[in-house]
Structure 1
Amino acid sequence: MAQEFSKGDHVTWKSHGGEAEGTVEEKITKDTEAAGRTVRASPDDPQYEVKSEKSGGTAVHKPGALEKD
């Protein structure tokens, strides 16, 4: 089972320029619009909206792409 994250968790993920870090803003468990795109998610297959410390922008990632600090 994929790792669970909570709002406020500090996480890292692979980005175009190497590794990025930021904070979990929201656990997404249903299809929605987030970070400028349509996100396909469900309670069994959640995704997480994260806010980058470097850019201040948000992105959505599957749990397998995130690592908790």
Structure 2
Amino acid sequence: MAEEFSKGDHVSWKSHGGTAEGTVKREITEDTEAAGRTVRASPDDPQYEVESEKSGGTAVHKPSALEKD
């Protein structure tokens, strides 16, 4: 099972040739609009909205793409 994250967790992920760091803003467990796109998620297949420390922008990632720092 994939790792679970909580709001406020500090995480990193691969981004455009490097590694980005940021904070989990929320867990998404249903289809919704986030980070400018439609996110397909469910309680069994959640995604996480994260805020980049560097840019302040938000992105949505599957748990497998995130690593807790």
Q: What TM-score do the two structures reach when normalised by structure 1?
A: 0.99
**Runs (4+) off by over 3 Å:** none
1:15 matches 2:15: yes
Q: Percent identity?
A: 87
- Letter of the 1:36 partner, please give it: G
Number of residue pairs the alignment of both structures matches: 69
1:28 is aligned with what amino acid?
I
SS in structure 2 at match of 1:43: coil
Cα offsets for 1:10-53 (capped at 9, x unmatched): 00000004000000000000000000000000000000000000
TM-score (norm 2): 0.99
Structure 2 gaps, min length 5: none
Q: Distance in 1 between matches of 2:68 and 2:44?
A: 20
Structure 1 unpaired stretches of 5+: none
CA RMSD of aligned residues (A): 0.4
